[in-house]
Amino acid sequence: MGGVKKRVAAIVTEYRYNSHAEVILGRLLGDMGYHPQVEIVSLYTDQVPVNDMSREVAARCGIPIYSTIRETIQAPHGEKPIDGVVIIGEHGNYPINEKEQMMYPRRRFFEETVAALYGLGLVVPIFSDKHLAYNYDDALWMYNLMKARGIPFMGGSSIPHCDHVPAFDRQNLFSLQEILVVSSGGLEGYGIHAMEVLQSLVEQREGGESGVRSIQLLRGTNGEAWSAMDRGEWPEELMLQALSVIPGLPNAPLRELEPEPALFIIEYIDGTKGYIIQFKQLVEQWSFAFRHGQQQVTAALCDSDLDRPFAHFERLTQMVEQFLISGQEPFPLERTLLTTGMICFAMDSLYEGKKLDTPTLDITY
């Protein structure tokens, strides 16, 4: 790309080895063999852990670190205002609430960013990593503000943008009826990746997105998920098909390997069914299987790297750059709002111990 590079301010929770800040922002600073098309001109770090990398990186790249978000947005302007903002509110030492949600300051980061931009009369593209907020009311407030002010926005997970292995005919998604995603890790932090994978596929069904009617999350203690499967409440066949595309899985009975997986059950307003089976240690990647057409099943792996340099983050970084340069949202903001609501209500369901109706997730796009 010729010409002057777009000038971008970066707001992060912490910047240390293998953090999202390092594998995304680090690339935008030219690390990890990446050749950025934008220029990071200012940086704010909310926390500075003992293994912090931000000070060394900023000094090497000649980038000022500011003590407030307002300064980070406003101070580097001079004759040329910033053209975009990257917010990475992931990792760091933050409290966990009674619903087991990490209370990342994503709304605060966003709110202070928009206030600083508004003071300058600027509307620029904003990228914010993963879901909008741990609180759905906060997420809805952010969404409404973006819509009211016409703020271009990109959020969400890196995993939906991975290659699918094996590749399949995307037209199969048009007649999707039910889908199961295999996931791993922590319920909220990794569950949102699975929600994003699920939604990126489900939204392509005939008629588009209709919204979510209800959500339930079973932790799996005492084999709840397996008991629900035995009762026919979620499809074993789709789980086995989704597992079949993940290489290197041990050849042993699943219930012995994973006696207490978690289970998310999502019911869409149009009758489509979504499931996430989340294992503790069986898998390290995401895969899926969906039923379509005349009861055919398609399954694929989301081909994310398990080790550095994490190519899926390189793809995400490329998408972020193109978004910051063009101002064109690569997918609907409503997807990020809906997946945020889905993971928030799932954690509410776990806390309250029951399935929850979700009339506020009547989100169409």
The residue extents of the domains of the chain are: 6-158+310-330, 160-304+346-359
Residue 117's nearest CA partner among 127, 125, 128, 106 is 125
Residue 301's DSSP bridge partners are 165, 287
Q: Using CA atoms, how far apart are residues 167 and 293, in angstroms rounded to an integer?
A: 18
Give the tokens for residue 14: 């912490």
Tell me, what amino acid is at 332? P
Give the tokens for residue 300: 């694929």
Class of domain 6-158+310-330: alpha beta
Answer whether residue 239 shows pLDDT above 60: yes
pTM above 0.85, yes or no: yes
Answer whether residue 246 shows pLDDT above 80: yes
pLDDT at 78 (0 to 100) = 60
Encode pLDDT of 5-38 as tens digits: 999 999 999 999 999 999 999 999 999 999 999 9
160-304+346-359 folds as Dihydrodipicolinate Reductase; domain 2 (3.30.360)
Q: Using CA atoms, how far apart are residues 317 and 315, in angstroms rounded to an integer?
A: 5
| Average pLDDT taken over every residue of the chain | 96
Which contacts (CB < 8 Å, 24+ apart) does range 59-63 have? 61/29, 61/30, 63/29
Encode pLDDT of 282-293 as tens digits: 999 999 999 999
User: Given this chain, do its domains 6-158+310-330 and 160-304+346-359 carry the same CATH topology?
Assistant: no
Encode pLDDT of 145-186 as tens digits: 999 999 999 999 999 999 999 999 999 999 999 999 999 999
Answer whether residue 349 shows pLDDT above 70: yes
